[in-house]
Amino acid sequence: MDPLFEWLCRMGDSTLVLGQRLSEWCGHAPALEEDIALANTALDLIGQTQMWLGLACETEGQGRDADALAYRRDVWDFRNLLLVEQPNHDYAHTIVRQFLFDAWHFEALTALQSSSHSDISAIAQKSVKEVTYHLDRSSDIVIALGDGTEESHCRMQDALTHLWPYVGEMFTTDAVDEALNGVVPLPASLRPAFDARVTAVLSEATLQRPESDFSHQGGKTGKRHSEHLGHMLATMQFLPRAYPDATW
């Protein structure tokens, strides 16, 4: 498979799946302001998905569009990070998941602005403005809840401990990344800036960064997804699969 198509799906699938996860909070968030904020973040991510998967379809050249990639592929064809498919569980897990993704996403998009591929650079330049806000917001909430009450601190620490094993996959370099070296940054090159930012926020939040280097793998290669992705896609893809010829 074309490495560029594969890489574009990794970017688009990760924003798509996280956007869907966040949309599950609509009408259920712990406060009205959060309900709106989470929905807006989801919309930003879905908008970015449209650009990444749209470019993937242009690269593929088989007449598919972004909707076809989102709704007509099965679990094993998705290339999203394992982190983003993890369930919301509770608000602490949602915020910690968002913060860890935002910290990686910001560094990735910042580097991609200098890509030699003009379309990738353009998408990154547009998306990084939104993600800068996402990161500022999730960082502030991690600090507020981590350094808040005993209950909020414990919940945030539990969420961090549970989700940390999914961080390493974001920085794993494989044949797809190496084939595009010079067009996109090698994932491993983003780790130092990510670590510095995350360590600073967690310190202010009085949260203990897990020491284990164990990392779940397989999401962005499609070799292994959690059972949670299948359940999520069954809901997300139901309407277009039930009525494949429907138009607005």
Name residues whose C-beta falls within 8 Å of residue 1's C-beta, 6 or more positions apart in sequence: none
Domain boundaries, the chain: 3-242
Region 87-105: mean pLDDT is 98
Arithmetic mean of pLDDT over the chain? 96
pLDDT at residue 247, rounded to an integer: 78
pLDDT at residue 113, rounded to an integer: 98
Residue showing tokens 């991510």: 45
* Structure confidence by residue, pLDDT tens digits, 21-70: 999 999 998 888 899 999 999 999 999 999 999 999 999 999 999 999 99
Q: Is the pLDDT of residue 110 over 80?
A: yes
| The model's pTM | 0.97
Region 69-90: mean pLDDT is 97
pLDDT at residue 32, rounded to an integer: 87
pLDDT at residue 245, rounded to an integer: 80
pLDDT at residue 4, rounded to an integer: 98
pLDDT at residue 116, rounded to an integer: 97
Region 98-103: mean pLDDT is 98
pLDDT at residue 119, rounded to an integer: 98
Band (219; pLDDT cuts 50, 70, 90): very high
pLDDT at residue 30, rounded to an integer: 87
Q: Is the pLDDT of residue 1 over 80?
A: no
Region 157-168: mean pLDDT is 98
pLDDT at residue 187, rounded to an integer: 98
Q: Is the pLDDT of residue 124 over 90?
A: yes
**One CATH from 3.10.20.740, 3.40.30.10, 1.20.1260.10, 1.25.40.10 for 3-242:** 1.20.1260.10
Whole-angstrom CA distances from 174 to 3, 178, 179, 217, 242 are 11, 6, 9, 12, 37
pLDDT at residue 3, rounded to an integer: 98
Region 223-237: mean pLDDT is 96
* Structure confidence by residue, pLDDT tens digits, 174-200: 999 999 999 999 999 999 999 999 999
Band (74; pLDDT cuts 50, 70, 90): very high
* Structure confidence by residue, pLDDT tens digits, 134-148: 999 999 999 999 999
Q: Cα separation of 165 and 201, whole Å?
A: 18
